[in-house]
Structure 1
Amino acid sequence: MDKLLLTPEEAATVLSIGRSKVYELIGDGRLASVRIDTSRRVPARALAEFVDRLQEQHETSRAG
């Protein structure tokens, strides 16, 4: 079974960005996350949704 929740560090690896950028995206509300007690986790589906939004923005900007 694939992981449903990833640490911010794991999410950063999947997205090929830095850990601090993941926290920035979470803080800006651009990347969904959940808290389990004091731990922050990023739902795997949130990564796919984030990438989908990036692709849509790119396609919209290219259509001009």
Structure 2
Amino acid sequence: MPLKEFAKGRQHVAAQELGVQQAAISKAIRVGREIYVTPHADGSYTATEVRAFPSSTAWEGEQ
């Protein structure tokens, strides 16, 4: 499911479930990043971002 739907009304909890800061969830939604969350049988979640390759923006830390 899209991150925006996963986190709707519960950004703090969603952030804990994904192991990130709430601000990261908020910013990703605000800037329109295409991130999808997958639930797993053990109750955990993973998030995957869809990006074009090559990306027009450099990865953080790249020189």
Is the shorter-chain TM-score for this pair beyond 0.5, marking a shared fold? no
Q: What TM-score do the two structures reach when normalised by structure 2?
A: 0.42
Q: Considering Cα pairs closer than 8 Å and 6+ residues apart, tell me whether 1 or 2 has the greater RCO.
A: 1
Structure (1 or 2) with the greater helix fraction: 1
Q: What TM-score do the two structures reach when normalised by structure 1?
A: 0.42
